[in-house]
Structure 1
Amino acid sequence: MYRTFARRHASTKIAAAVLALAATGAYAANNTSNVRHASAAHADSTTTQLPRGVTPSHYALSLTPDAQASSFMAKVAITVTVSAPTSSITVNALELTFAGASIEGVGGMQQASKIDIDADKQTATLHFAKPLAKGQYTLAIDYSGKIGSQATGLFSLDYDTPEGRKRALYTQFENSDARSVIPSWDEPDYKATFALDVTVPSNQMAVGNMPITSSVDAGNGKKRVSFATTPRMSTYLLFFGLGEFERATANSDGTEIGVITKKGALAQGRFALDESAALLREYNDYFGVRFPLPKLDNIAAPGRSQFFGAMENWGAVFTFEYSLLLDPAISTQADKENIYVTLAHEMAHQWFGDLVTMRWWDDLWLNEGFASWMESRATERMHPEWNTALSAVGGREAAMARDALVTTHPVVQRIATVEQASQAFDTITYQKGEAVIRMLEAYVGADTWRTAVRSYMKKHAYGNTVSNDLWREVDAAAGKPVSAIAHDFTLQPGVPLIRVDSAVCKAGNTTVKLTQGEFTKDRDGKKALTWRVPVIAQTVGSSKLARALVENGKATMQVPGCGPLLVNAGQSGYYRTVYAPALASGLAASFAQLPAIDQLGVLANSQSLGMAGLQNPSDFLDMVKATPLSADPQVWGKVASVLGALHEQYADGSAEKPARQRAFDAWAVSRLAPVLAQTGWQARDGEASSVATLRTQLISTLSSLDDAAVIAEARRRYAARSTDPAALPAPLRRTILGVVAQHADSAMWDQLHAEAQAEKTPLIRNQLYDLLASSDDAALAKRALALALTDEPGVTNSPAMISRVAHTHPELAFDFALAHLEQVNARIDASSRSRYFPRLAAASAQAAMIDKLEAYSQAHLAQGARGDADTAKADIAYRIKVRTQRLPAIDAWLAKQAG
């Protein structure tokens, strides 16, 4: 699944068999002595929330949806094996109404004598008067259910067309929502085959995981469509879609690749279709196992979710339009790259996740961390002109930012409830998982790593695994115990801190002494955990690398050459580096000579150490001051991002900017405005794609810094759009509108609102409603919040608008959502609320918000569903700490610059 980070959950309380070992983020971080032991103890066991003894092997599902009535009728025949005599069978079921059930096999057929529903546990128990002996049976269930309006279970999405409003149906089952459509063993380890047939309107296209085998007239304007039987797979990968669709296809390595869109949008899917075909060939080669299904569709859907952008259903990838379709009228270079990354991520899942699936949600990173790593690898390899290798630093930094807080958790974590499983789709699972893989690949070598991955795929195809299954293959391929390092980074939380204590050059080599601690942002004096840390270092200007493994807290390494020392050269390591003062000064002085990826890493490292109090916070600004105009566009993008974040740190919620913030903003503008002047507002023929992306970053950041020149130019272009077609070029359209909306007055807000109401293209319409929620003006933000609770924006835009207001006005958005709790809850699926509400508050820097979040948690969240709320509180506390303890040093530095 491709997650959008803010993004997922609350209030279904399911007791796990292992509840006593369940760990919240705070538990995991504060009880690290137990984490490794507990994780290792359960690594080779299988968790289940259902009684053992009955196992499914095949589902034959007949589904008849009624889109207008938001309901469906269904029948399912499940082939099961009873391994121990029983008089009842328990399945997962959520909001299903049962008409009856029977079982046929050993001893003949009998009807279920009673069906007990447990709404809290999300189960249905079918009782039989005559006990079932060991053997194989067919369990037949007749039932009905609901079609929702949010992207969970079987749901509908409405969209406008020139012919009027249309409705399409889709499914989203990860992590635990197949049970709302099919009574099932809705856990990843219960793999089975699926045969789906649907009775649907004759004029609509039905889509499933497999190709259609037959379509026959069913009368009354309906047809019955049957799909081929799937391979063995987990329930959460089952897919069904229905609507007025179009499909384009291509052949790649013997597989039919398809893109499916609503009618009229198919041309916008051409980029995705072409790139999918190339990606399939690349993945077939890398994994050493060919894609095993006869077809692979990418299905584009209007609307959006706050919590994910795409889902890897086997052979039928679901993706919201903004992450799949390239619209020449509005799409940017960044959009194109994001579409590619989403494709690469979901297609990687067809192997890591679909063919080989984690046994239980504890090892979710085996799906998501690997798909994230593979998306990056594929993008670097297939589109080197985008220079996306540098983006790996950003992903690692996002993981470290979370991992350095008390509320972090191990990559492999204990999952006990549906809500905890949903909350596991986070930065640690995705970005830290990817960073650890990148580090281990660099440690053993790319060829060795691929050998291990290929062996893992072949050995576990169609099965379920735990992390140790992978580590065994890596150890075997590498010929050394890589698993020991892997366990250190996946079975305990946190970020290693490598201290460079000394570096002495003699006879052309530099002897470096390293010690290992732990980097934390909110636990001064914490006793450091220990890791075995692979370290790569070099002297600036030398092409020769030195490698060492820091064990038992220390290491000495010989680095070829003499000169400034760079530790974590190439940025593959997952650790922070703090240098002795003289070494730090030498590295800073040679900053301009570093490769771009190391400039990014050094900038990020310096900024994080400064904010955590491990060095002067202004050291980062010295590097920014020394960054030449000729630096890589992605380096300037990082500078713009951090300066924008510091601008937000100064904000105190008042209508007028504090004087401190004005001083910082003026200096930040003085650094970024010359870069924009060099880049220009107009794209140049042959410019690098990273320049196009930087242009939008600079305009947006300078807008946030209240740069009068940027605001005036954006307004001029917006005013001239009707007479000058070049005023709003597609690559800048959204960015320019964003500046106009951010600084809108009431009249301009009304004008944008009118445009949103009139717009019929879903992608553009969604953008306009998002813009209405992006104003700096609190009064206009309140109008956007009120609008979000009407039917006008659409049910998937409403929660997005509230979230967008929260970016700038977190207190306002959170208070509004709580004051309208019932209405907001109606627009968010129930299992997502424990993530949604805390994330509205996460950008706050007010101590009172911590108390509000605690009160919300106590009132609305189960004890095991408070991970996102705890993380939001930790983020707020750290932001307050930065404001009070770090910004004064930046103020002093700025005063010196002015003097």
Structure 2
Amino acid sequence: MAETNPHRLPRTVLPRRYDLRLAPDLEAATFAGTVAIEVEVQEPTAEVVLNAIELEVDEAWLEVGGARRDVTVTLDEEHERATLAVDGGPLAAGPAIVHLAFRGILNDKLRGFYRSTFTDDDGTDRVIATTQFEATDARRAFPCWDEPDLKATFAITLDVPEDLFAVSNAAEAGREPIEDGRHRVTFAESMLMSTYLVAFVVGPLEATDPIDVDGVPLRIVHRAGQADLTAFALESGAFALRYFTEYFGVPYPADKLDLVAVPDFAFGAMENLGCVTFRDALLIVDPERSTQSELQRVADVIHHEIAHMWFGDLVTMAWWEGIWLNEAFATFMEMRCTDAFRPEWDRWTDFGISRTAAYDTDALTTTRPIEFEVVSPADAEGMFDVLTYEKGAAVVRMLEQYLGEDRFRDGIRLYISRHAHGNTVTTDLWDAIEEATGEPVRRIMDSWIFQGGHPELAVTVEPEGETATLRLTQQRFLYDTGDGSGDDATRWVVPVLVRWAPGAEATTSSVTLERVLVEGTTAEVTLATPPAWVITNSGGSGFFRVRYDAAGLAAAARAPGISAVERYALIDDAWASLLAGTIGIGEVLELLRGYADETDLSVWQRVLGVVSALDRLVDDDTRPHLQTWVRAFAGPALRRVGLDPVAGEPDRTAALRGALVTALGTTGADPETRARAQALLARADEGEEVDTDLFDAALRVLAAEGGAERFAAFRQRSATGATPQERLRYLGVLADFPGDAENDAFLAMCLTDDVRTQDAPFVIRRAIANRTQARRTWDFLTAHWDEALARFPSNSISRLLEGIRSVTDPALAHAVEGFLAEHPVPQGDKPIAQHRERMRAGVALRGRVAGDLASALKDGPS
């Protein structure tokens, strides 16, 4: 592929070591640099080809055997290359050194070597120079062989003003003044690594004192005034270092670990070896002033990035189609680590929310295989989506649970040790696990990785005297978008865990767990006796839908010992079946009523997610009936949890209270809840300590109620909050206001420096999902489309457009379709096609069930 793809470099010259020196000028937003790259010429060649884009090359020459060889430089902007034509005849095979001097711009696009700004506590504007190189942007900072399999070592030097902090991948080896008044900071040489993992950050920053984690120094790098918000990240990071060292059976591969908070960052975080960069809200946190979900998110992201130090940095994919494996496995490992770090958060049950998002895309005809061919940089950028992360993690979890955790880990350890410092393809992982377990891992996983979609398993039980036959029949699961699409005969090798109990005399000890591999359309299992109940996705770890008949569903729902994640799956499957058109709204409402006494946070979150979606299916005349239904349904649950926090209660109890309050005050429009939210805000304004989950819910409720004065107050607090989480909390709810004037003001501020470009796309997405302001938001966006494209990071546009998935109004959907057909987004063609199809599924659902829903709601909640 490298030989035929115009975006791949020839393999005639390969890098071995970079000696890179950079001198950023933060005030002028420029940088200059030199690099000496030790290479190995593989065969005689008259040119050296490497990557460069948005750079001016001032000088270039080669050193061969101590002698200088002059070259002529040609830059190819289209293919992002620099070609060095060698004067005086071809280079012979063997070692050489490529010397380059170059200049560039510290851009404001949050990629390559870029500038990030913040205002310090004195009101002074400050600038940071930082990096984001994944997938193909190291070439914007220095000429290099910018492909993941072309690993080399890096010796980095930064010339910086003496009062600025500098950090890179390896430990600082020296700092000395130079003639122009700056300081030259040198760093130790790195291990072999890919260019996308190189990092350097320069600015008015400071670092915590390092803590020793079994010989690895760990620090948090942050701007002044944030030192008191670093303790949780240090605790979380230290836990992860120890956890992963033990899990992988290989020592941490770098000489130190710095976690760096960056004010402007297009991604959540980036796994640069030894120098991980984060959005500050995903690293800098006050546990006492954060919601449970905010704190969990910080832990998840820290654990995800540290997992990459082994799975991604030490062992790296050979080319970008393998990025799914890096990200899916890190997502899987983040949850393993977080579950061990805070068991009370019940992380694997909570994973249901993320898995639902993956299902929601994978049930579309426009879904894609987890792994697909990547040709260009734009293709690589399009890989960073819910299918790479959440579906990928879900199928890894499915395999782990089917094989058993210890056997699976043995395979991972074999993979890491065998391929350390190297590059791999997906099948290398399956082969290692297969070798360790003796199971047909490659045959199973190839069916999940190389074809899109997922199956639905129809469950039937046929008693046959004293025994019974359990039959599992698979077909592809697809939403009904109203265009006649249906099953396309795609089939998977499905690893299934089935739990069942014998008839009426069943006890806990009589429950049986079966491992079933469904190959082809149908698999049959003989049960020793007719079952009292069958749970066909035991533990909720399988990435497939389950369809029971009415009796089977009722039996599963009341099975003794059914877990929260299994209860979650029953609701999730029912809502998906409604979107697929295989059940009616009445069946969904009946199932929801059965959860009125539910106590688990994640299950309630899925129930309330369905309730919120129903709000998009009803018209204005029916909406009061839905509000009444919600109040009758969720009100008693809130009273059971308690209106006020209790000292020492579990974090998930506080989060459940917040979720119920939010639902009652927004979808339920409950006057009492809204009054209580206003009183809560007043108490907080008077300096009273208020539970953060409850306070977050109050803000959402008050925003949904609206008001110009309240909008102005929340807008002010979005700029002045004491923590990054608090500022984002206020910014987010500005998108929820129902009034036209507030919506206009909010959208206008999103195109100014009042909202960071890393945040604006996500809050505009939230505004598109605002029931009362979707059309107005869409009209604003289309009127300012070119400005948005120029202003926001390119990888965020498809995420912004995710908001259209909630659109159910046919007229607005038609307008969206027409605009996007005429305004393609190269970096997001696949995700945007998925957003459009999911929108059509919502419109079709509303057309099918709105009438029945209205009738059912008028009959009341019972």
TM-score range (shorter-chain normalised) is over 0.9
The residue identity in structure 1 corresponding to 2:613 is: A
The equivalent residue for 1:261 is 222
1:372 aligns with 2:331: yes
In the alignment, which of 522, 530, 550 is matched to residue 581 of structure 1? 550
**1:745 matched residue in structure 2:** 707
Q: 1:835 to 1:757 in 2, by over 3 A?
A: closer
Distance 1:295 1:681, change over 3 A: farther
Mean Cα deviation higher: 329-338 or 233-242? 329-338
Distance between the aligned counterparts of 2:606 and 2:797, measured in 1? 31
SS of alignment partner, residue 290 of structure 1: coil
Decide which of 594, 598, 610 is 1:642's aligned counterpart.
Answer: 610
Is 1:161–1:760's contact at 8 Å kept on the other side of the alignment? no
SS class of match (1:322) = helix
1:780-835 superposed Cα distances (whole Å, 9 cap, x missing partner): 11111112223333444444443332231443333323322332223223x42652
Deviations 1:477-524 (A, max 9, x none): 1113221111111111111111113342754x5431221111111464
Secondary structure of 1:86's counterpart equals coil
After the TM superposition, which residues 330-729 of structure 1 pair with which residues of structure 2 at under 5 Å, given as runs? 330-504=289-463, 506-507=465-466, 510-522=468-480, 524-539=485-500, 542=508, 543-559=511-527, 562-588=531-557, 590=558, 594-650=562-618, 658-705=620-667, 706-723=669-686, 725-726=688-689, 728-729=690-691
| Contact 1:81 1:134 (8 Å CA) reproduced | yes
For 2:819 and 2:760, locate their aligned partners in 1 and report how far apart those are by CA, in whole Å: 21
Shift, 1:142, TM fit: 0.8
Q: Give, in angstroms, the shift of residue 328 of structure 1.
A: 4.9
Matched, 1:315 2:277: no
Give the 3-state SS of the residue equivalent to 1:65 in structure 2. strand
CA distance in structure 1 between the aligned counterparts of 2:493 and 2:135, rounded to whole angstroms: 33
Q: SS in structure 2 opposite 1:112? A: strand
Aligned counterparts of 2:49 and 2:778: Cα–Cα separation in 1 = 40
Is contact 1:149-1:795 (8 Å) kept? Answer: no
1:848, distance to aligned residue in structure 2 (A): 5.0
Change (3 A) 1:278 1:533: same
Is the counterpart of residue 867 in structure 1 residue 835 in structure 2?
no
Deviation at 1:630, TM superposition (A): 4.9
Bigger Cα displacement from structure 2, 409-418 vs 659-668: 659-668
Relative distance call for 1:133 and 1:351 in structure 2 (3 A) is same
Q: C-alpha displacement at 1:63, in angstroms?
A: 0.5
Q: Give matches, 1:101-140, under 5 Å.
A: 101-105=60-64, 108-113=67-72, 115-130=73-88, 131-140=90-99
Whichever residue aligns with residue 575 of structure 1, its letter is F
Is the contact made by 2:805 and 2:835 (CA closer than 8 Å) also made in structure 1? yes
Q: Which residue number in structure 2 is paired with residue 285 of structure 1?
A: 246
Contact 1:84/1:134, CA 8 A, preserved across alignment? yes
Cα pair 2:764 2:800 within 8 Å, conserved = no
Query: 2:77 and 2:829 mapped to 1: Cα distance?
Result: 21
Q: What residue in structure 2 maps to residue 236 of structure 1?
A: 196
CA distance in structure 2 between the aligned counterparts of 1:209 and 1:430, rounded to whole angstroms: 25
| Cα deviation 1:186-234 (Å, max 9, x = unaligned) | 1111111111100111112101110000100124441100011111111
For residues 366 and 328 of structure 1, do their structure 2 counterparts lie closer, same or farther at Cα, with a shift above 3 Å needed? closer
Per-residue deviation at 1:763? 4.8
Change over 3 Å in CA distance of 1:722–1:628 after alignment to 2:
closer
Preserved contact between residue 596 and residue 631 of structure 1 (Cα < 8 Å): no
Aligned to 2:504: none
Q: Structure 1 850/695 Cα, relative in aligned 2: closer, same or farther at 3 Å?
A: same
Q: Quick check: 1:162–1:760 contact (8 Å CA) kept in 2? A: no
Supply the AA of the counterpart residue of 2:712.
D
Deviation at 1:373? 0.8
Residues 69-78 or 117-126, more deviating: 117-126
For 1:186 and 1:658, the matched residues in 2 are separated by: 55
Q: Which sits farther off after the overlay, 728-737 or 478-487? A: 728-737
1:560 and 1:775 map into 2 onto residues whose CA distance is: 59
In 1, Cα distance between equivalents of 2:397 and 2:307: 16
The whole-number CA distance in structure 1 between the counterparts of 2:580 and 2:82 is 51
1:264 and 1:468, CA in 2 relative to 1: closer, same or farther beyond 3 A? same
Query: Aligned in 2, Cα 1:601/1:407: closer, same or farther, shift over 3 Å?
Result: same
Distance (whole Å) between structure 1 residues aligned to residue 177 and residue 63 of structure 2: 30
Deviations 1:386-433 (A, max 9, x none): 111212322322211111101111111111221221111111111111
Does structure 2 conserve the Cα–Cα contact (< 8 Å) formed by 1:814 and 1:840? no
- Which 5+ residue runs of structure 1 have no aligned equivalent? 1-14, 20-46, 651-656
Q: Structure 2 vs 1, CA of residues 769 and 531 (structure 1 numbering), >3 Å: closer, same or farther?
A: closer
Partner Cα distance (1:545, 1:823) in 2: 57
* Cα contact 2:444–2:494 (8 A) shared by 1: yes
Deviates more, 1:96-105 or 1:798-807: 798-807
Secondary structure of the equivalent of 2:167?
A: strand
Equivalent position SS for 2:583: coil
Once the two structures are TM-superposed, the CA of residue 581 in structure 1 deviates from its matched residue by 3.3
Query: Do the aligned partners of 1:411 and 1:429 also contact (CA within 8 Å) in 2?
Result: yes
Query: Is the 8 Å Cα contact of residues 154 and 169 (structure 1) preserved in structure 2?
Result: yes
Q: How far 1:454 moved relative to its partner?
A: 0.4
| Corresponding residue SS for 1:91 | strand
Q: Which of the numbers 257, 267, 288 marks the counterpart of 1:296?
A: 257
Contact in 2 for aligned 1:518/1:528 (Cα 8 Å): yes
The DSSP-based 3-state class of the residue aligned with 2:218 is: strand
Distance 1:760 1:442 in 2: 42
2:761–2:796 Cα contact (<8 Å) kept: no
- Distance in 2 of aligned mates of 1:301 and 1:471: 36
Q: CA RMSD in A?
A: 2.4
Deviations 1:291-310 (A, max 9, x none): 121111111122453xx211
Partners of 1:721 and 1:837 lie apart in 2 by 32
After TM superposition, the structure 1 = structure 2 runs for residues 766-845 of structure 1, keeping only pairs within 5 Å, are 766-808=728-770, 809-829=773-793, 831-832=794-795, 835-836=798-799, 838-845=801-808
Aligned CA distance change for structure 1 residues 404 and 277 (closer, same or farther; 3 Å) = same
TM-score (norm 2): 0.93
Deviation per CA, 1:576-630, whole angstroms, max 9, x where unpaired?
1112333234334x26862212111111111211221122233222122112435
Q: 1:626 to 1:821 in 2, by over 3 A?
A: closer
Distance 1:858 1:624, change over 3 A: closer
Distance change >3 Å, CA 16–CA 873, structure 1 → 2 = farther
Question: In 2 relative to 1, CA 170–763 (structure 1 residues): closer, same or farther, beyond 3 Å?
Answer: farther
Partner-residue secondary structure (3-state), 2:622: helix
Residue type at the aligned position of 1:121: H
Runs (5+) with no aligned partner, structure 2: 502-506
- Return the letter of the residue paired with 2:69: Q
Amino acid in structure 2 at the alignment position of 1:647: D
Residue aligned with 1:416, SS: coil
Structure 1 letter corresponding to 2:346: N
Whether 1:192 and 2:155 are equivalent positions in the alignment is no
User: Shift in Å at residue 469 of structure 1?
Assistant: 0.5
**SS of 1:291's equivalent?**
coil
How far is the alpha carbon of 1:739 from its aligned partner? 2.5
For the Cα contact (< 8 Å) 2:765–2:800, is it kept in 1?
no
Q: Distance in 2 between the 1:460 and 1:206 partners? A: 32
Q: How many residues align?
A: 845
Q: Distance in 2 between matches of 1:183 and 1:811?
A: 46
Per the TM alignment, residue 676 of structure 1 is displaced from its structure 2 partner at its CA by 1.9
Give the AA of the match of 1:687. E
CA distance in 2, matches of 1:591, 1:480: 31
User: Larger relative CO (CA 8 A, sep 6+): 1 or 2?
Assistant: 1
Residue of 3, 8, 12 corresponding to 1:53 = 12
Q: Structure 1 residue 701: deviation in Å?
A: 2.4
- SS for the counterpart of 1:598 is helix
CA contact (8 A) 1:302 1:763 kept: no
